[in-house]
């Protein structure tokens, strides 16, 4: 296993998905959230899911999802894990009990005290995703914002974790060095416009990850 793994999130076309897989991404993210420019229809997700080889894991990204959406997305996207935003531990526990898939839980971070939320996920989340806290009323992720990575210094993580928020090919090496992350998650950092992934940026990001 490489020292650092990478998830390319918000993929929506065969070409960009193939670029992520060909470049060595360990995970690919499919967004099921209509307000997002990266939102996938179930039909589109089904078409993309069939292109993903077994060694690459498909992660569905959801914001306050209901069970019907989850059920349809799990089937269409052949999901291997569920990434949850703005969901309470009680709701997440119910989702895990019903769908029996690993849960990734996003913890938005701006200050050190924001990390305290992560402790409430001990024993429930299979992975914590530390992401930059976005402005009130905005999308919960994919905004190109980053937080102070040094906030993670000395923090006792309650589960395996990944780093997200404002990453790109030029700063991922620094991010990994500062935080000790073993998995990084990128979305807007490999786009040429919101929701429009760029195959060359994906390649550059994954080359930077592979060099670490």
Q: What is the pTM of this model?
A: 0.94
What topology is assigned to 5-210 in CATH? Answer: TIM Barrel (3.20.20)
Q: What is the pLDDT of residue 134?
A: 77
Q: Regarding predicted confidence, which is higher, 138 or 194?
A: 194
Read off the pLDDT of residues 160-178 as tens digits, 9 standing for 90 and up.
Answer: 999 999 999 999 999 999 9
Strand partners, 130: 107, 163
Is residue 87 pLDDT above 80, yes or no? yes
For position 139, what pLDDT does the model report? 63
Q: Contacts for 87-93 with beta carbons within 8 Å, 24 or more apart? A: 87/62, 89/120, 89/121, 89/124, 92/121, 92/124, 92/125, 93/124
User: Above 90 in pLDDT, residue 91?
Assistant: yes
Marked catalytic residue, from 9, 66, 67, 114 = 9
pLDDT score at 170? 97
Kindly report the average pLDDT of the chain as a whole number: 95
pLDDT for 4 beyond 60? yes
Each residue's pLDDT tens digit, 43-74: 999 999 999 999 999 999 999 999 999 999 99
Least confident of 1-10, 13-22, 89-98: 1-10
**Annotation says 72 is catalytic:** no
Of residues 131, 148, 153, 168, which has the active-site annotation? 131
- How many angstroms separate the CA atoms of 161 and 182, rounded? 8
Predicted pLDDT of residue 94: 98
Compute the average pLDDT of residues 94-109. 97
Residue 27 pLDDT: 98
CA dihedral sign of residues 128, 129, 130, 132: negative
* 185/63 Cα distance (integer angstroms): 17
pLDDT, one tens digit per residue, over 119-152 is 999 999 999 999 998 776 566 655 668 999 999 9
């Amino acid at each position: 296993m490489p020292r650092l793994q990478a998830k390319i999130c918000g993929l929506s076309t065969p070409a960009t998905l193939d670029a992520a897989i060909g470049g060595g991404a360990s995970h690919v993210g499919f967004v099921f959230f209509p307000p997002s420019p990266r939102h996938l229809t179930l039909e589109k997700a089904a078409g993309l899911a069939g292109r993903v080889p077994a060694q690459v894991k498909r992660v569905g990204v959801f914001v306050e999802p209901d069970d019907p959406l989850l059920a349809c997305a799990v089937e269409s996207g052949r999901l291997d894990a569920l990434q949850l935003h703005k969901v309470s531990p009680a709701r997440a526990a119910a989702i895990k009990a019903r769908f029996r898939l690993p849960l990734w839980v996003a913890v938005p971070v701006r200050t050190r005290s924001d990390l305290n939320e992560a402790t409430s996920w001990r024993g429930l989340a299979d992975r914590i995703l530390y992401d930059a806290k976005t402005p009130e009323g905005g999308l919960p992720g994919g905004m190109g914002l980053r937080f102070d990575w040094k906030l993670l210094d000395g923090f006792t993580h309650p589960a395996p974790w990944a780093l997200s928020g404002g990453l790109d090919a030029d700063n991922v090496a620094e991010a990994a060095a500062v935080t000790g992350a073993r998995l990084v998650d990128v979305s807007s950092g490999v786009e040429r416009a919101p929701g429009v992934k760029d195959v060359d940026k994906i390649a550059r990001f994954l080359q930077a990850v592979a060099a670490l």
